[in-house]
Chain A
């Protein structure tokens, strides 16, 4: 399987690998996928009072394209509002990474992950 240079770059130098404290009020956590499918992404966002994502971290169990998709996403969401971040489309990720058709589902999972993280944060806000 030939990987694009972009995927290899993210794979070899993944950005923003790590973990925030789940219980922190500023953190939204989205975990999507399943071990049985061979893909699990955990994406976390740190949101300030203005609803802007100050920082993002990820960890992924999955193929190179899955790792690259989630790594790219953490780069993209930083500095964006949670509304904007939730609008990111998997097609944008797939295009940026030049994903072949068989790997498109990795970008879809990344889109699901950011949406889940934003929703988790919103839920925390409303429960607070």
Chain B
């Protein structure tokens, strides 16, 4: 094999052969199970969304039809994303909120989807995978509902929304 002459010229390259074989086998399995897995993860994702979408001011982002089956991005209006993550210690989710990075800008992806900054700051990305069960999804639903309720009690924006104030009309004293 041409190359840098590694392995005493036996085989150039420092690639881990066993990992290569493993990757190939994983791809074979993925291809064989792709349709059934897609259906399964889609059902779980739907279950998650159905468990949350009756809450007030909760929106799904992106087109659920032209969409990878196992991921869903949801905005919980008037609750900031990072504080939501903090309330969900048992879930590995990520936030469109700026606070999760060194920059204070919200996710450019969510912005490109047409979302305003505030909703972008209030979004969580959930994903379900090969080992996710219905019990996992149900537990996540319960935790998310509790967390959103608790954080809305702390939120001045939720107060204002409940009082019928139009948040777009306010002149914010931003820093």
The interface of chain A, by Cβ under 8 A from chain B, is: 1, 3, 11, 14, 17, 19, 31-42, 59-67, 102-103, 105, 108-109, 112, 116
Is the Cβ of B156 less than 8 Å from the Cβ of A11? no
Of B98, B102, B118, B154, the contact of A60 (CB 8 Å cutoff):
B154
Chain A residue nearest to B157 in the complex (CB):
A61
Interface residues on B, range: 20 to 34
A61 to B158, CA, bound (A): 9
- Contact across chains for B154 and A17 when beta carbons are under 8 A apart: yes
| Residue B117 at the chain A interface, CB threshold 8 Å | yes
Cβ contact within 8 Å between B175 and A63: no
Interface positions, chain B 41-97, Cβ under 8 Å from A, are 78-83, 86, 97
Report whether B86 and A105 are in contact in the complex, using a CB–CB cutoff of 8 Å. no
Closest residue of A by beta carbon distance from B87? A11
A112 touches B156 (CB 8 A): no
Note all chain A residues with C-beta closer than 8 A to B153. Answer: 17
Residues of B86-133 contacting chain A, CB below 8 A: 86, 97-100, 102, 104, 106, 116-118, 121
Interface of A is mostly: mixed
Docked-complex contact B104 and A38, CB < 8 angstroms = yes
Cβ-closest 10 pairs across A and B: A35-B118, A34-B172, A36-B117, A34-B174, A38-B121, A42-B156, A63-B82, A59-B156, A63-B99, A64-B86
Contact across chains for A112 and B83 when beta carbons are under 8 A apart: no
Interface residue B12 (Cβ < 8 Å from any Cβ of A): no
Nearest residue (CB) in B for A19 is: B159
Partner of A59, one of B99, B104, B117, B154: B154
- Given A3-B86, A59-B159, A61-B156, do A38 and B174 touch, yes or no (CB 8 Å)? no
Can you report 21 A-B residue pairs in the complex whose CB atoms are below 8 A from each other? A31-B156, A33-B172, A34-B172, A36-B106, A36-B117, A36-B172, A37-B117, A38-B81, A38-B99, A38-B118, A42-B159, A59-B159, A60-B156, A61-B79, A61-B156, A63-B82, A63-B97, A64-B86, A65-B99, A103-B99, A105-B175
Chain B 126-175 interface residues, beta-carbon cutoff 8 Å to A: 153-159, 167, 172-175
Q: Which of A32, A38, A59, A109 is close to B98, meaning CB atoms less than 8 Å apart?
A: A38
Shortest distance between the CB of B104 and any CB in chain A (Å): 6
A15 to B102, CA, bound (A): 28
* Cα separation A35 to B80 with both chains bound (whole Å): 9
Decide yes or no: A62 and B104 within 8 Å by CB, A19-B159, A33-B173, A105-B175 being known contacts: no
With both chains docked as a complex, state the minimum distance between the C-beta of B164 and any C-beta of chain A, in angstroms: 15
Q: Which residues of A contact B121 (CB under 8 A)?
A: 35-38
Q: Are B154 and A63 in contact (CB under 8 A)?
A: no
If A19-B159, A31-B173, A61-B158 are given as contacts, then 10 extra A-B residue pairs at C-beta distance below 8 Å, sorted by A number, are A17-B154, A37-B104, A37-B117, A37-B174, A42-B156, A59-B156, A62-B80, A63-B97, A102-B102, A105-B175
